[in-house]
Structure 1
Amino acid sequence: MNMLEVNHLRVWDANEGKEIIHDSSFQLKAGTCLAIVGESGSGKSLTCRSIIRLHKPWIRQSGEIIFKGEHLNQLSERDMRKRRGKQIGMIMQNGMGAFDPTSVVGIHFQETLKAHFGWSKSEAEVNMKKAMESVMLPHPMEIMNKYPHQLSGGMLQRLMIALTLVLEPDIVIADEPTTALDTISQYEVVEQFIQLRERMGGSMIFVSHDLGVVKKIADEVLVMRSGVIVESGSIKSVFTEPRHAYTQYLVSTRLELSSHFNKIMNGGT
């Protein structure tokens, strides 16, 4: 069963009249992780934003986004807001951008959980404390009383994973969640994503340019270049027998760059 179907997605800049994503189609099967890989500017992040309709005002899209049989492109913005977070969760590249800089992070959790579940402040805190401990964040109450700028990038990403655990969405979209982190934090956050999948049993879209991470976490992969899907298939087939010249280039260069990271992931030196 497909959890998500994207059919003939086109995305363009209405100001410049420039097409950014050209006729993309793909499926996300229930309980699997689909990676989207490619270099910067290939359209990976825009594809994710198209699924949950979170574009800047001048970015337009057409095509079908079907989530569990429902056409998301036909929903009102109000109905779409109900789907975001609770049914389709998104973990951004920059954890800092996900939080209001003028409030402590605990306020963000309280407001989010009240909107989706109607929980009181104490109910939200109890559930977040448990989830934060499960992603190895010590002293949860202390952390909830801190502002985003007082926390590291790795901690902010783990906070987003903890919130996702509480919300239990059907699909988690992770848009380059390890890019801004140092190697050790990357290792810890990737491990948390692997555990997130195991605990929730849900579906995931994992966007990255790091093929070492992708190889560790994903079942299937899409390769994007300049807004076009140039290759797709299982991790094994795409990484061991890439057909497209661009995929061959990516695999040969990116896996080499990832070798140090892979050694750390596998407990080497």
Structure 2
Amino acid sequence: MNIVEVENLKVWDTRTGKVIIHDSSFQVKQGSCLAIVGESGSGKSVTCRSIMRLNKAWLQQSGTILFKGENLNQLTEKEMRKKRGRNLCLILQNGMSAFDPSCVIGVHIRETLQEHFGWNTREIERKIKNAMESVMLKNPQDILNQYPHELSGGMLQRIMIALALVLEPDLIIADEPTTALDTISQYEVVEQLIQLRERMGCSMMFISHDLGVVQKIADEVMVMKDGAIVERGDIQSVFSEPEHAYTQYLVSTRLELSNHFKKLMQEGL
């Protein structure tokens, strides 16, 4: 069964008439992780923001986006707001842009959870602290009293993952969640996302240009170039026998980097 079915998605810039996404069709299976890969400007993030209906005001979209059988393109903004967070959860590339810089983290979290569940403050604090501890964030109370700029990128990402744990959405969209992080934080965040999926059994869309991370987390992969899907399939077959020239280029570049790194390590020993 598919949790998401996208048919003939087209996104264009109303100011210039330029088409950004060309007639895309794809599915996300229930409980699986679909990775979208491609270089910057290939249309990965715009595709995912189309599902959330969070693209810039001047970007228009058409086509069918079925989420659990319901066409999201036909919902009002008020109806979409109810779905965001509770059913569809977006984890952004830059944790700083996900939180209101003018208030402490705890305020943002309380408002989000009250909006969707109507829990009292004590219930919210208990649930979010448990979730924060489960993603290895120490002293959750201190963190809740801090402003976004006082926390590292890795911590902000983990707070978003903790919030997702409490919200228990059906679909998590992670938009390049490791790009702005150092290597150790990248590893930790990917591990947390894998555990999140295992714990909740939710579906996931994972956007990245890092094929190593994609190989670790995804079941299926979709390759985008210039706003079009050029290849898709299960992770093993696409990576071991890529058909499209662009996918072949991505995979060979990744292998080259990997071999170069191994060679450097051997020389260092």
Do 1:212 and 1:259's aligned partners in 2 also have CA atoms closer than 8 Å? Answer: no
8 Å contact kept, 1:212–1:258: no
Contact 1:210–1:258 (8 Å) recurs in 2 = no
Alpha-carbon distance, 1:254 to partner: 2.6
Q: What amino acid maps onto 2:66 in structure 1?
A: I
Per-residue Cα deviation, 1:68-109 (whole angstroms, up to 9, x for no partner):
011111111100100000001010010000000000000000
**Which structure 2 residues correspond to residues 139-150 of structure 1 after superposition, within 5 A?**
139-150=139-150
Matched-pair contact (CA < 8 Å) for 1:211–1:255: no
Q: CA deviation at 1:124?
A: 1.1
The corresponding residue for 1:59 is: 59
Alpha-carbon shift at residue 256 of structure 1 (Å): 3.7
Q: Structure 2 matches for 1:16-31, cutoff 5 A?
A: 16-31=16-31
CA gap of 1:259–1:2, structure 2 versus 1, over 3 A, is farther
Q: Higher mean Cα deviation, 21-30 or 116-125? A: 116-125
CA distance in 2, matches of 1:193, 1:186: 11
- Per the alignment, do residues 84 and 252 of structure 1 end up closer, same or farther by CA in structure 2, a change over 3 Å counting? same
Query: In the alignment, which residue of structure 2 is the partner of 1:104?
Result: 104
CA distance in 1, matches of 2:98, 2:259: 31
1:211 aligns with 2:194: no
- Quote the residue 2:50 is aligned against: 50
What secondary structure is seen at the aligned counterpart in 2 of 1:177? coil
Distance in 2, matches of 1:113 and 1:23, equals 36
Q: Which amino acid aligns with 2:7?
A: N
1:110-133 Cα shifts (integer Å, max 9, x gaps): 000000000122211111000000
Look up the match of 2:38: 38
Q: Is the 8 A contact 1:89 1:172 kept in 2?
A: yes
SS in 2 for 1:128: helix
1:21 partner SS? strand
Secondary structure at the counterpart of residue 242 of structure 1? coil
The alignment of Structure 1 onto Structure 2 pairs a total of residues equal to 263
Following the alignment from structure 1 to structure 2, what is the Cα–Cα distance between the partners of residues 197 and 259?
31
Question: Alignment partner of 1:232: what SS?
Answer: strand
CA distance in 2, matches of 1:171, 1:115: 19
Provide the secondary structure at the position in 1 that maps to 2:36.
Answer: strand
2:76 paired with 1:76: yes
Partners of 1:118 and 1:261 in 2: CA distance: 51
Distance 1:258 1:98, change over 3 A: farther
1:120-135 equivalent positions in 2, closer than 5 A: 120-135=120-135
Letter in 1 for 2:133: E
Classify the secondary structure of the residue corresponding to 1:196: helix
- Counterpart of 2:265 in structure 1 is none
Q: Which runs of 5+ in 1 are unaligned?
A: 263-268
TM-score (norm: length of structure 1): 0.95
2:84 aligned with 1:91, yes or no? no
- Alignment partner of 1:181 is 2:177: no
Runs of 5+ in structure 2 lacking a partner? Answer: 263-268
SS of equivalent to 1:224: strand
Moved >2 Å (runs of 4+): 254-262
How far off its partner does 1:260 sit? 8.9
